[in-house]
Amino acid sequence: MLPEWATHRAMGTMVVMLLFGAAFSIGHHFFYQSLSGKPPPSSVYFSRFGGGLTGQQVNLAVGSVFAFLVSSALGAVITTAADQALWATVRTKTLKLGAIDNLATVTTGIWNIFDFRLWKKSPIRMILATILWLKSITSFITPATLNVGWSATTFTSLMRVPQIDFTSLNFANVQSQPSLSPLYYYSNPQYAVLQTVAGSTTGGYVLPIHSPHENATWQLKFPGPALSCENIDEASALYHNISDNILTATIAGSEAMHSNFTYVNNIQSVKITTQGSFNNVSAMGPIAGAAPLEIEPASHNPPMYNVQGVENYAYEAVMDAFGRMFVGAIVRNLGGAQDGSMLGVTIAAHMASTPLLQTKEFNFLQPLTVKGNISSLQGDVTDVTSLWNGHSVEEAANSTTPMARLMEELFRNATVSLMSNSLLRPNYSSPYAPPDVPVTQTHYALIYSYAANTLWLAYGIALVVSRTCPNSLRYFELPTASICQMPYNLKIKMGKIRRHDTLKT
C-alpha cells in the first residue's frame, strides 16, 4: 500500500518539494565549503560581453541561485499547505466573498497579514502565510555567509638573517710590520663601521635592517661590545684632576645581547636587552707571532688563528667609532670683551647632532645659537610680540633623561645597527659563519571565509518549520482526500458562501 503522500497530489507536492529544499540546502553548504579558505579566483568569463564576469562574481551568483532554489522549494511546501487550509476554512465556515478574497491573496499581499479579522476566520492559513513571508529572510542571510577577508598564516623555518661577524676583517684597520715574526696592531675603524655608528648615533635609533620577509619575526642572542656608564668615584684621580666637568666614567666591555626583530609590512621594530657582562674590553696592544695569520705553516702543524684577537680588534673599532662622536670641545668665545661677557658658544664636536643634548646634563647647551649679549630676532620677538605675528614652536622643558643611560642605549643601537651594513655581515663560506635562525613568517592573503553555522541555522529553521506543514493538515480534522478536493456544491446567498450539501469525496 502506497503512503498517503504518494496517493494525493497536494501531500505529494509538499513532500517532494521539501526533499528538494533539503537537497538544495545541502548543495549550497558543500559549494561554500569547497570555497572556504581559498583565494578568490582571478579568471574572467565572457570577457567579450560588457567586461565579462569575474570568478568572484560567478561564485556569488551560484550561491544566490542555491538560496533562491531553497527558498522556492520551501515556499511551494508552505503555499500548498496554506491553500489546503483555505479550502478547509471555506468548507467549514460561512464567509463573505471579501473575506475569501483576502484569505486567498494573503500569500501574495503582505498587508493582509495585519487584518486581524482574517486571523479569527482561518488562523492556520494566516500562520502559514506569515511563515511564508518570514521564510524569504533566509534568501538574504544564507548568501552572505560567504565573505572575503584577510587571513594570516604563520610558519617557522630556518633562514639566514642579517647578523654581525666580528671575525670579519672589515671592522678594524689592522696594520702589520713584516718581519721574521709578523706584528699586527690596531690603527683605526674602517669606513663601514664609521658610517654605520655615526648614522645610528646621530638618529638615536637602530638603522633599517633588511628582513628576509616583509612580515617576519626572529630572535638573536650574540656576544657583542657594550658600554656601561657610572659615576666616577670621588677617590679617583680623575675626580680630583678634572673640575667643573660632568663626571661619568664609561667602561667598555662585552655582553650577551638579546635582540627581538619584528617586521610588519617591512616596518621594523627591534627590542634589545642585555644578559650579563662577560668581561671588560680595552684597547689591545700589537699581536706578535704567526697568529692571527700564519704565513708559512709547518707541514706537520695546522694553521693557527687568533680568533679572539680579531674579535677584540673589531670591538675596539666599534668603540673607537662611537667615541669619536663625542670627542671635541665646547668653547666659550669671550671675544676680548672688557667685562668678560660671553659673545658666543662654539661646539666643536659631533655630539651636537646626537640626542645627547637632550639629557639633563647637557640640556643647558640648547639653544646653540645663544650669543651672550648679542640680541637675536627670536629674542626680540619674545620681548616685543608686535614685531612678528607668527608663532614658532617653543622649546620643550629641560629633559630628565640621564646621560649615562642614554649613552648605553646609543651604543646598543649602534652595535645592532652594524647588521645593516653588508660588509659587516657574515660570509657564509667562512668557518666562523653563524648558523641559520628560526624565522616566523606571517603571510596575509585574501581568502573566502564561510560561516557554516549561520547558514545551517537559517536553513535549519526554515526546514523544520516547512516540515511541520504537511502535519498541519491533521489539525483541520478532515480527511485529507476531502481537503485536497475543491468544494463544488456551494450556494451563494446575500453575499455569503454557504455549504449547501455535504461534499462528496
C-beta of residue 207 within 8 angstroms of C-beta of residue 196: yes
Amino acid 77: pLDDT: 81
Amino acid 8: pLDDT: 64
Amino acid 76: pLDDT: 85
Listed in sequence order, the DSSP H helices in 261-389 are: 307-324, 377-383
Tell me the torsion sign for CA atoms 138, 141, 145, 147: positive
Tell me, letter by letter, the H, E, C secondary structure of 314-325.
HHHHHHHHHHHC
Length of the chain: 505
Distance (Å, whole) CA 404 – CA 245: 14
Amino acid 120: pLDDT: 72
Tell the residue number behind the cell numbers 627670536, with chain if given: 378
Tell me, letter by letter, the H, E, C secondary structure of 24-82.
HHHHHHHHHHHHCCCCCCCCEECCCCCCCEEHHHHHHHHHHHHHHHHHHHHHHHHHHHH
Distance (Å, whole) CA 301 – CA 442: 50
Spatial CB neighbours of 109, under 8 Å, sequence gap ≥ 6: none
Amino acid 402: pLDDT: 87
pTM of the model: 0.66
Q: Where are the domains of the chain?
A: 4-145+451-475, 158-295+303-382+397-445
Quote the distance between the C-alpha of residue 279 and its chain's center.
41
Amino acid 486: pLDDT: 43
Q: 183-189 and 172-177: which strand pairing? A: antiparallel
Per-residue pLDDT of the chain (505 residues; tens, 9 = 90+): 445 554 467 777 888 888 998 999 999 999 999 999 888 888 787 777 766 788 888 899 999 999 999 988 888 888 887 777 777 776 776 666 766 766 666 777 777 777 777 777 777 777 777 777 888 888 888 898 999 888 888 999 999 999 999 999 999 998 887 666 678 888 999 999 999 999 999 999 999 999 999 999 999 998 888 888 777 766 666 555 555 455 454 555 566 788 999 999 899 999 988 776 656 666 677 776 655 565 555 555 666 678 888 888 999 999 999 999 988 777 766 555 555 455 566 777 788 888 888 888 887 776 554 555 566 777 777 777 777 877 777 766 667 888 888 998 999 999 999 999 999 999 999 999 999 999 999 988 889 999 999 999 999 988 888 887 766 655 554 444 444 444 444 444 444 445 444 433 3
Amino acid 287: pLDDT: 73
Amino acid 42: pLDDT: 80
